[in-house]
């Protein structure tokens, strides 16, 4: 049943699988029109296969993949909740999918309505004044937010603010985004509670600080309890606060970044708002801003006047554009549907149950695994496989063994501040029975790690391939197929 | 479950959130709506959209209305693909990993490059990532960008680097009344501005006006000062045109939406990014590599991760994490279905049909020529009625008209950028031409 | 990764996964309205699960199934060709899927147009006068045809015709359909050519014969060369000829049942016309009839007058109705799309290549397998595993071993007149490479059967289950789940 | 390939077809059309259809416009399901086999029967198969069928057995002006006609008028003469009503389209067929049974095949081969999603909403009562304007009106059968009522 060939290896000279209308206009002499030197001389190595070849090839490839529709996917920080099918159907409507972004607004009122209303909805959920839907993902939301921070300071002729502070538990995109936009990154440690070390923060706050980026709850799944103090401190020194909303799933309807003192906040629609992640993307990372920052939002902003939606480009303080057009529209449509399906109480319940589920697993594993910051967590928690590692069974080994048990493993080796980290986020869409069987699987692994560690070193055994050699791949990179 | 945790209520689990931060009211949001209500509600919204399923689309300007084979969505919407996360656990993600490897191969093949990544957000972000790569590579700060590059990309470039130490300078194109090369990069100005401070030159072909640029000439100029050439190319056009790699580009980037992705009101799009060998370890984004498993069988993994944010943090080559994998999968399947011959057919039909539309419009006598250079899929003309007005009128006949160039090029006031893909039949083109003609004659 | 539970075994009291609008009208007192005795007293044992439970359950079930999109499916007589995806998309359009069959024809002109045109198209392909699209499958087409035969004879006051003749190579539905409609079935043998034995036929033809049912090419994949003679003989004795069109894929555009002398012919849209078989159905079995039989067609017949389509129920000689409404409409839509996509030459080429492919495999296997009637075949051929069976390897064993090699096995033990039959139909949608690898697999099995027969007795090994005990299932039938 | 075969041309392979039979011209058919042309062509056809996505459907009469959960088609259109044939090779077909086993279980649960098959073509064919079973079982030839059974089913019955020795006799329903039981089976007539020649009695509940029949009373009568009771029941209604099995039916059959299947202009539909134990080996069609594999694990196979045509030929219990498996899968998934509670909710809403519509129509004063017995989802009224006219007018307001009963019941001239499912909101019902009222008042 194994067919390991690439689509290129199935190519047969002259075979075709496409269907186009005949050319019904005069044929242009391409050589004459463009001149030969500009035309492709060597034949393109694009596979020559039939439609049935393509269908079988990618159907079979899909069968070597695992999605949240295949089973439990507690990939911490990534919030792999169920993606309701109705949202897919709606996003696929011709009335959305076949719209050109540059159409006259008179002909795209439906699209603009969705954008306008999503701006309002997300602003309400985040406690912000307005939202731009332009960023294509969380990381681009961060860039946008950082550009706004920069623009804000510049608009006040405050040119010396070159630093962005990030905690050591932050996601890699936070410092990377700051660097792309041209900031200097300063990292501060976490304290013994797993929270921002207030003293360390204090020590570096000065008038070169442009802002602080924070995830709350943080990547340990813990709420930054001192957030009000922190925001006061940062504001006091003239900096702004950026909220990395990847963990927003924990607190919808319970608390809002705006109320915590954040000036800017992104949300990952592909996490909290249930849009599918597509095996890597596309996602969407809208950001909300406080009132003072509204003038800096990217253009265009959708406005409504006398029941008519229009695109406002005339915003002199705007940072400009960060992405073509208006963001990942069809992802936004899905999230729009999600919000309407859930309603206010539904969103709050989602957070409530996400937190309940995480704490339940945490409690059921705390005797067998080290849990560095073992107290009530939010929607996720991080355990450490240090005890198992002593026996030679690493977080990676545990992960690969979970594959054989039918689960997608948790995030491993993140956050960086926990050794042998396994970051477990069950989400609210999982049933108690699923949690119980996962707990059971994790407990079995712990027992095996203690009793017969060697038996855990050879997983996975049931996947399409056995353990893959990542070192080899990086050392001698083969990045494309060649004949 | 609460008992296991030792809590009385779910609310209690939120006690680490200070009381004063708790939202003590319900969120002001509509809903909940059941599936059926939601469907009705959205249908009501959608009816205000004039989409390309019932309107003839002659609008391009970076996003194109091509024919999309039915088979694609039957594959892309296999749940194992679209409900998966980034393939961090390679062994249970061989499907998407192999597909991304195939995508990378196809992109290198189209662009004539040595390696490609597994996608970026869009053409615009691919351009700024390329600029970033170039500046970091040769430690220079000045970048020359042709004004014939898509204005959306240029705007994003300007915004992103506004407060950084990277400086963007624009090079004009040759103006309409300035000979056979009008509409292409002004090589004189390029020569003037280029220097050993230049990190890179960015040129697009076919450019925003649909006109094919002389990438080779620009690249030769760039090479003289050791600047990198960043070529922005439409992947459909590469079915007929020589690859940027062969023409001297160091980095090839662009928008791959035309490869089977719906227009989706502009998003998601699909940025591609390909480089010559020296720049591989500086590439942004996910890269899939081939390796072997424990039993010696071929397999695929995310590789060269030492470039990436989750490992290198602020020293990463880019901040990108989530990308556009599903759109890349779409493009891969599109190219597989079309095949070498199909892609050539699409490209040729785009040329034939856009040329037919162009000639037909000119023939009316009410639409004037603007540039002289040959074009691909898209062309500039100047109708006797202003594009804005014209488009409004055309909408009454269910035609989505071309792009009003005056928005971004004041000097091209009254000029209209019309895209004609293989999707348009002769009848539809004739219909457009007749309507344009009669609107103009109607003297609106 | 194995989850063997039935959906019932995943049920959790009180869990729900459905989404309905709220009841927005006054609540009726159901007890009072209907009286308690008529209301359900015990709780319904319908599973209580969430949407994600359902999605995962059936996604995973699908992964234990094999379709033509999974790989080669040479199931003889069933014509498992590729099902183009565009046809699925079109059949799913609201404008078709959401139509009620009893709508005023003024509001269903589109549907009626499809029916009207399909009638014409199929009539042309079959060489018949008109076609009814009502039968839901081949077998129901047979019933309908047989009812027409009966009605025809009755209309001529010819009451003694009680017999239907079928060859021993015929499909089981032929005699079964005759029996359902109340005919006596007479079976005639095949001759040494694998064709209808003309003498045997001669011998039983008399004025009690209502008709003869024939597949052509027959189930051995051989064209009944004497068909003109046969049809003359049957007609001469006053009988009619029924064409079982399951094998129509062999001869589209090459020859037509009407021209062969058949009076009635069905086609299986789910075979020749590429509509998917759905894991068992639905299909569609339209039948065409010659001019004389048109008055007997089931009602309604779609007619066109002044550009308007209407349903004609006023047909006094009609046999009445055989199925609700107008047949399996959405299957008909798919076949309609197929015909339009292929065009006349495309259909003919399909038959040409189907025949080419079958002969190619036949030639490549004839040295290792017994092929009882080994001459140029049409779209399929039947081999016999008698040589292998001598070594103890049956057709069933070979089939199960093919599963392990990634192929759906051919039809086995049919037609009944060939021992250890394996009926191989590659169809035109398979590439030479696929045929070659299948041939290779079959040759390997032949070699193994000769050299190490025992090694073939334990397949399948790679399927979700190993060989299933069918005898046990039939002896002690468990036909539903119970707690 | 031709060389291997030893032929010069493909045509040569057809030499066994006598020359005079060869079609020496091209078939007269349109095409070929490319995907895009086909899509355009069909859209042009479809625009002449008034479908229930934009018209409010109050038409039932055997096919119903219920809400269909989105998730269903994401599962049913998994390629492994819909592109498979009948699961002859059980080991590679466990998916569909297990699903059919689940379907059979659900059907027995709904009907209170001991076993069910894996589907028949539609309600009509389920009825004739049931009659065939009964007649063969007790070797009798007379079958009594209530006139309140769906006329489509009765017509099919009549046609199928027209020239066989099975005789179909119809039993009237109680006429409108004949008391509280009007609209239900006329028990007096039943008593009159039933005899020891009666093979079976066929009764439907809710019957064609939407009215709930007293299955128990009918079954008791049938039992007295050892005739089988064939109950035709709507599966949605069995969410609230007692199962036919409990009420004495020997065979329960019907149309399961309402369980998640689109109306599809009447096909495919979904016949279900369930029996009490004594009749299991006489059932028509595919049956899936549980067994074990070589390693002792549970698995599923097609079973009791000795009943079937491919083995027993003319002695088979039925001629069915291809069935409606995918529709059965749809129903199985529908029931799984709805669950016990959802099904009850649908059924209750059907009752509430149809009663609301009924009362509201009567309240207008322009629509008259016809029957008295309580109904489920569908009811008969007599508007002051003829249904045919009324429906035509309603279409202008995008309403698909009820069924004109005079077509099949001349004695019910002017009567209108209106279906109201859970899909209709109060607003939509009010809209119907207003329109009906104003059309009548308009005096058309
Ligand atoms: C905490 C955190 N921040 C930021 C991101 C980046 O978001 P995206 O992948 O949408 O760019 C992630 C995603 O994994 C995250 O978990
Ligand atoms: C030769 C032949 N006749 C008749 C039939 C019955 O057709 P259906 O399954 O559509 O009822 C078949 C199907 O397998 C067949 O192969």
- Which of B235, B105, B272, B93 minimizes the C-alpha distance to A9? B105
For β-strands C421-424 and C381-384, DSSP reports them as antiparallel
A397 three-state secondary structure: helix
Which residues, listed in sequence order, are joined to residue B367 by a DSSP beta bridge?
B383
Pair of tokens at residue A90: 């709606």
- Which of D185, D189, D181 minimizes the C-alpha distance to D148? D185
Q: What share of chain D is helix, strand, coil (3-state, %, to 5)?
A: 45, 15, 40
Q: What is the DSSP letter of B182?
A: T
8 Å CB contact between B150 and B208: yes
Note whether B155 contacts A57, CB cutoff 8 Å: no
Residues A69-83 have a mean pLDDT of 97
Sign for the pseudo-dihedral over CA of B362, B365, B368, B372: positive
Of B35, B78, B79, the CB nearest to D69: B35
Q: Which residues of D touch B426 (CB under 8 A)?
A: none
Pair of tokens at residue C40: 């359900």
Q: Which residues of A touch B33 (CB under 8 A)?
A: 340-341, 343
Q: What Cα–Cα distance (Å) separates residue C289 from each residue in A253, C130, C241, C263?
A: 68, 6, 10, 6
Residues D187-196 have a mean pLDDT of 97
Q: Establish whether residue C76 lines the binding site of ligand 2, counting it when its CB lies within 6 angstroms of any ligand atom.
A: no
Note whether A139 contacts B152, CB cutoff 8 Å: no
State pLDDT tens for residues C264-280: 999 999 999 999 999 99
Check residue A66 and give its pLDDT.
Answer: 97
D300 C-alpha vs ligand 1 centroid, how far in Å?
A: 45
Averaged confidence pLDDT in chain C? 96
**Conformation bin of residue D398: beta by default, left when phi > 0, alpha when psi is -120 to 50:** left
A215 C-alpha vs ligand 1 centroid, how far in Å?
A: 10
CB proximity A341 to C under 8 Å = yes
Check residue C42 and give its pLDDT.
Answer: 86
CA-based nearest residue in chain B for residue D68: B36
Q: What Cα–Cα distance (Å) separates residue D179 from each residue in A55, B231, B419, C30?
A: 63, 86, 73, 21
What number does the ligand 1 atom closest to the CA of B320 have? Answer: 11
Q: Establish whether residue C134 lines the binding site of ligand 2, counting it when its CB lies within 6 angstroms of any ligand atom.
A: no
Sheet holding B416-419, edge to edge: B367-369, B378-383, B416-419, B403-404
Note whether C56 contacts A70, CB cutoff 8 Å: yes
For β-strands B198-205 and B142-146, DSSP reports them as parallel
Measure the CA–CA gap between A262 and A248, rounded to whole angstroms. 13
Check residue A146 and give its pLDDT.
Answer: 97
**Conformation bin of residue D322: beta by default, left when phi > 0, alpha when psi is -120 to 50:** beta
Q: What Cα–Cα distance (Å) separates residue D195 from each residue in D154, D191, D217, D225, D227?
A: 21, 8, 16, 6, 8
CA-based nearest residue in chain A for residue D38: A21
Which residues, listed in sequence order, are joined to residue D293 by a DSSP beta bridge?
C468
Measure the CA–CA gap between A212 and A200, rounded to whole angstroms. 13
Chains that touch C (3 or more CB pairs under 8 A): A, B, D
Give the ligand with the smallest distance to the CA of A415: 1
Shortest Cα distance, chain A CAs vs residue B153, angstroms: 7
Residues C156-162 have a mean pLDDT of 95
State pLDDT tens for residues B92-126: 999 999 999 999 999 999 999 999 999 999 999 99
Residues A130-153 have a mean pLDDT of 97
Check residue A337 and give its pLDDT.
Answer: 98
Check residue D251 and give its pLDDT.
Answer: 98
Q: Read off the pLDDT band of B444 (50, 70, 90).
A: low
Note whether B403 contacts A344, CB cutoff 8 Å: no
Note whether C19 contacts B35, CB cutoff 8 Å: yes
Of C21, C55, C85, the CB nearest to B70: C85
CA-based nearest residue in chain C for residue A437: C3
Pair of tokens at residue D105: 């279980």
Domain borders along chain A are: 7-62, 86-341, 345-456
Pair of tokens at residue D18: 């006598």
8 Å CB contact between D165 and D131: no
Chains that touch A (3 or more CB pairs under 8 A): B, C, D
Q: What share of chain C is helix, strand, coil (3-state, %, to 5)?
A: 40, 10, 45
Averaged confidence pLDDT in chain B? 96
- Rounded to 10 deg, the angle between the A138-155 and B151-161 helix axes is 60
Measure the CA–CA gap between B436 and B423, rounded to whole angstroms. 19
Which residues lie below 8 Å from residue C33, measured CB to CB, with a gap of 6+? D351, D355, D374
Note whether D35 contacts B74, CB cutoff 8 Å: no
Pair of tokens at residue A251: 């607190």
> What is the best residue among C78, C139, C278 to mutate for testing ligand 2's pocket, by most ligand atoms within 8 Å of CB?
C139
Q: Establish whether residue C139 lines the binding site of ligand 2, counting it when its CB lies within 6 angstroms of any ligand atom.
A: yes
The yes-or-no verdict on residue D444 having pLDDT over 80 is no
Of B100, B286, B374, the CB nearest to A33: B374
8 Å CB contact between A400 and A409: yes
Measure the CA–CA gap between C428 and B68, rounded to whole angstroms. 25
Domain borders along chain D are: 56-69+339-441, 70-334
Q: What Cα–Cα distance (Å) separates residue B342 from each residue in A9, A22, C329?
A: 18, 12, 33
CA-based nearest residue in chain B for residue A164: B314
The yes-or-no verdict on residue D308 having pLDDT over 90 is no
Which residues lie below 8 Å from residue A156, measured CB to CB, with a gap of 6+? none
Can you say how many angstroms the Cα of residue C123 is from the centroid of all Cα atoms in its chain?
19
CA max distance for chain D? 83
Q: What is the DSSP letter of A10?
A: G
8 Å CB contact between C469 and D292: yes
Give phi and psi for C138, each to the nearest 5. Answer: -55, -50
Q: What is the DSSP letter of A196?
A: B
Check residue A149 and give its pLDDT.
Answer: 98
8 Å CB contact between B93 and A65: yes
Note whether D49 contacts C108, CB cutoff 8 Å: yes
The yes-or-no verdict on residue A1 having pLDDT over 70 is no
Residues C127-143 have a mean pLDDT of 98
Pair of tokens at residue A246: 């990847």
- Mutation test of the interface with chain D: which of A21, A91, A429, choosing the one with the most D Cβ atoms within 10 A? A21
- 10 Å Cβ neighbour count for D47? 12
Check residue C43 and give its pLDDT.
Answer: 86
Note whether D70 contacts B35, CB cutoff 8 Å: yes
The yes-or-no verdict on residue A2 having pLDDT over 90 is no
CB proximity C56 to A under 8 Å = yes
Specify burial of residue B150 (Cβ count, 10 A radius: 0-12, 13-18, 19+).
Answer: buried
User: Which of 3.30.70.1450, 3.30.470.20, 3.90.1150.10, 3.40.50.1820 is the CATH number of C345-456?
Assistant: 3.90.1150.10
- Which of C269, C264, C235, C240 minimizes the C-alpha distance to C252? C269
Q: Whose CA is nearest to atom 12 of ligand 2?
A: C246
Q: Establish whether residue C77 lines the binding site of ligand 2, counting it when its CB lies within 6 angstroms of any ligand atom.
A: yes
State pLDDT tens for residues D194-246: 999 999 999 999 999 999 999 999 999 999 999 999 999 999 999 999 999 99
Q: Which CATH number is B56-69+339-441 given?
A: 3.90.1150.10
CA-based nearest residue in chain D for residue B40: D53
Give the ligand with the smallest distance to the CA of C249: 2
C446 C-alpha vs ligand 2 centroid, how far in Å?
A: 29
Q: Which residues of B touch C (CB under 8 A)?
A: 34-37, 69-71, 74, 79-80
For β-strands A184-188 and A163-167, DSSP reports them as parallel
State pLDDT tens for residues A381-431: 999 999 999 999 999 999 999 999 999 999 999 999 999 999 999 999 999
CA-based nearest residue in chain B for residue C21: B34
Residues B175-193 have a mean pLDDT of 94
Of D37, D71, D74, the CB nearest to A21: D37
Rounded-to-10 torsion of CA D186, D192, D193, D198: 110
A230 C-alpha vs ligand 1 centroid, how far in Å?
A: 22
| Strands (E) located in D137-287 | 142-146, 167-171, 198-205, 228-233, 251-255, 271-275
CB contacts < 8 A, C to D, total 687
The yes-or-no verdict on residue A380 having pLDDT over 60 is yes
The yes-or-no verdict on residue D443 having pLDDT over 80 is no
Cα distance between the two ends of chain D: 71
- Mutation test of the interface with chain D: which of C7, C81, C102, C415, choosing the one with the most D Cβ atoms within 10 A? C102
Note whether B70 contacts C89, CB cutoff 8 Å: yes
Measure the CA–CA gap between D77 and D85, rounded to whole angstroms. 14
B137 C-alpha vs ligand 1 centroid, how far in Å?
A: 27
Q: Which residues of C touch B69 (CB under 8 A)?
A: 85
8 Å CB contact between D332 and D325: no
State pLDDT tens for residues B317-374: 899 999 999 999 999 999 999 999 999 999 999 999 999 999 999 999 999 999 999 9
Of A53, A69, A405, the CB nearest to C56: A69
Q: Establish whether residue C327 lines the binding site of ligand 2, counting it when its CB lies within 6 angstroms of any ligand atom.
A: no
* In CATH, B70-334 is 3.40.640.10: yes
Measure the CA–CA gap between A163 and C371, rounded to whole angstroms. 82
CB proximity A71 to B under 8 Å = no
Domain covering A86-341: architecture:
3-Layer(aba) Sandwich (3.40)
Q: Whose CA is nearest to atom 10 of ligand 2?
A: C138
Note whether D70 contacts A55, CB cutoff 8 Å: no
- Mutation test of the interface with chain D: which of B33, B52, B67, choosing the one with the most D Cβ atoms within 10 A? B67
State pLDDT tens for residues C10-35: 999 999 999 999 999 999 999 999 99
Give the residues surrounding ligand 1 with Cβ less than 6 Å away: A 77-78, 137-139, 171, 173, 215, 219, 244, 246, 268, 283, 285; B 321-322
Give the ligand with the smallest distance to the CA of C167: 2
Which residues lie below 8 Å from residue B338, measured CB to CB, with a gap of 6+? A17, A18, A46, B69, B345, B346
Measure the CA–CA gap between D89 and B30, rounded to whole angstroms. 51
- 10 Å Cβ neighbour count for A336? 27
What number does the ligand 2 atom closest to the CA of C219 have? Answer: 1
Q: Whose CA is nearest to atom 12 of ligand 1?
A: A246
Spell out the alpha helix ranges (H) of A10-137.
30-34, 51-62, 85-91, 94-97, 109-126
């Amino acid at each position: 049943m194994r067919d390991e060939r690439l689509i290129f290896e199935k190519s047969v000279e002259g075979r075709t699988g496409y269907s186009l209308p005949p050319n019904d206009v005069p044929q242009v002499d391409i050589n004459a029109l463009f001149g030969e030197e500009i035309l492709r001389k060597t034949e393109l190595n694009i596979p020559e296969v039939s439609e049935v070849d393509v269908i079988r090839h990618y159907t079979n490839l899909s069968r070597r993949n695992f999605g949240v529709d295949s089973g439990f996917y507690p990939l911490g920080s990534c919030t792999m909740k169920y993606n309701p099918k109705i949202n897919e159907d709606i996003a696929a409507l011709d009335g959305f999918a076949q719209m050109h972004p540059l159409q006259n607004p008179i002909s795209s009122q439906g699209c603009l309505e969705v954008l306008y209303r999503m701006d309002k909805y997300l602003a309400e959920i985040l406690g912000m004044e307005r939202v731009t839907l332009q960023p294509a993902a969380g990381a681009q939301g961060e860039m946008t937010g950082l550009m706004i921070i920069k623009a804000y300071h510049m608009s006040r002729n405050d040119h010396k603010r070159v630093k962005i502070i990030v905690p050591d538990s932050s996601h890699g995109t936070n410092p990377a985004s700051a660097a792309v936009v041209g900031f200097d990154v300063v990292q501060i440690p976490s304290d013994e509670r797993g929270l921002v070390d207030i003293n360390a923060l204090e020590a570096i706050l000065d008038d070169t600080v442009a802002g602080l980026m924070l995830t709350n709850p943080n990547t340990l799944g813990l709420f930054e309890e001192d957030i009000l103090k922190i925001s006061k401190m940062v504001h006091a020194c003239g900096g702004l606060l950026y909220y990395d909303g990847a963990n927003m799933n924990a607190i919808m309807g319970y608390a809002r970044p705006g109320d915590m003192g954040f000036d800017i906040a992104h949300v990952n629609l592909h996490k909290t708002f249930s849009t599918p992640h597509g095996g890597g993307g596309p996602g969407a990372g809208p950001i909300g801003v406080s009132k003072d920052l509204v003038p800096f939002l990217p253009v265009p902003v959708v406005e409504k006047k006398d029941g008519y939606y229009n695109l406002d480009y005339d915003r002199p303080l705007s940072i400009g554009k960060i992405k073509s057009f208006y963001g990942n529209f069809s992802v936004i449509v899905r999230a729009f549907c999600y919000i309407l399906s859930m309603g206010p109480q539904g969103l709050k319940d989602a957070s409530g149950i996400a937190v309940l589920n995480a704490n339940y697993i945490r409690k059921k594993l705390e005797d067998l695994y080290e849990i560095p910051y073992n107290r009530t967590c939010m929607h996720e928690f991080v355990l450490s496989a240090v005890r198992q590692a002593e026996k030679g069974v690493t977080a990676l080994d545990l992960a690969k063994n979970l594959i054989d048990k039918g689960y997608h493993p948790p995030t491993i080796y993140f956050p960086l501040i926990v050794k042998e980290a396994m970051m477990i986020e069950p989400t609210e869409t999982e049933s108690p029975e699923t949690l119980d069987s996962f707990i059971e699987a994790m407990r079995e692994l712990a027992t095996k790690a203690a009793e017969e560690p060697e038996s855990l070193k050879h997983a996975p055994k049931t996947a399409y391939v056995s353990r893959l050699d990542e070192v080899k791949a990086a050392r001698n990179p083969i990045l494309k197929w060649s004949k | 479950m609460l008992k296991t945790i030792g809590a009385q209520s779910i609310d209690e689990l939120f006690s680490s959130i200070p009381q004063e931060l708790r939202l003590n009211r319900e969120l002001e949001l509509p809903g909940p709506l059941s599936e059926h209500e939601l469907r009705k509600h959205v249908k009501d919204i959608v009816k205000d959209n004039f989409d390309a399923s019932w309107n003839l689309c002659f609008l391009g300007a970076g996003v194109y209305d091509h024919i999309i084979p039915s088979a694609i969505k039957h594959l892309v919407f296999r749940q194992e693909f679209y409900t998966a996360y980034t393939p961090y656990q390679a062994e249970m993600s061989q499907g998407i990993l192999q597909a991304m490897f195939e995508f990378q191969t196809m992109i290198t093949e189209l662009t004539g490059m040595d390696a490609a990544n597994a996608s970026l957000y869009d053409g615009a972000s691919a351009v700024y990532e390329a600029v970033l790569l170039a500046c970091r590579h040769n430690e220079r700060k000045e970048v020359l960008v042709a004004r014939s590059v898509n204005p959306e990309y240029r705007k994003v470039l300007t915004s992103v680097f506004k407060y950084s130490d990277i400086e963007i300078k624009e090079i004009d194109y040759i103006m309409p009344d300035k000979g056979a090369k009008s509409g292409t990069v002004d090589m004189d100005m390029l020569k003037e501005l280029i220097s050993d401070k230049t990190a890179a030159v960015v040129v697009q072909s076919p450019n925003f006006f649909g006109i094919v640029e002389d990438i080779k000439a620009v690249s030769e100029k760039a090479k003289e000062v050791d600047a990198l050439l960043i070529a922005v190319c439409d992947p459909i056009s590469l079915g007929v045109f020589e690859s940027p790699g062969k023409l001297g580009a160091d980095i090839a980037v662009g928008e791959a939406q035309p490869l089977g992705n719906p227009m989706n009101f502009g998003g998601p799009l699909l940025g591609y990014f390909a480089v010559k060998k020296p720049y591989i370890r500086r590439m942004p984004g996910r890269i899939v590599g081939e390796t072997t498993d424990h039993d010696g069988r071929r397999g695929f993994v995310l590789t060269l991760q030492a470039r990436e944010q989750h490992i290198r943090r602020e020293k990463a080559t880019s901040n990108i994490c989530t990308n556009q994998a599903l759109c890349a999968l779409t493009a891969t399947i599109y190219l597989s279905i079309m095949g070498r011959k199909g892609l050539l057919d699409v490209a040729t039909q785009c040329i034939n049909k856009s040329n037919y539309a162009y000639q037909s419009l000119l023939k009316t006598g009410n639409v004037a020529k603007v540039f002289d250079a040959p074009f691909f899929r898209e062309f500039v003309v100047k109708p006797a009625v202003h594009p804005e007005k014209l488009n409004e009128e055309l909408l009454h006949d269910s035609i989505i008209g071309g792009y009003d160039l005056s928005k971004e090029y004041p000097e091209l006031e009254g000029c209209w950028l019309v895209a004609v893909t293989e999707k348009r039949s002769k009848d539809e083109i004739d219909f457009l031409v007749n309507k344009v003609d009669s609107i103009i004659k109607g003297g609106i």
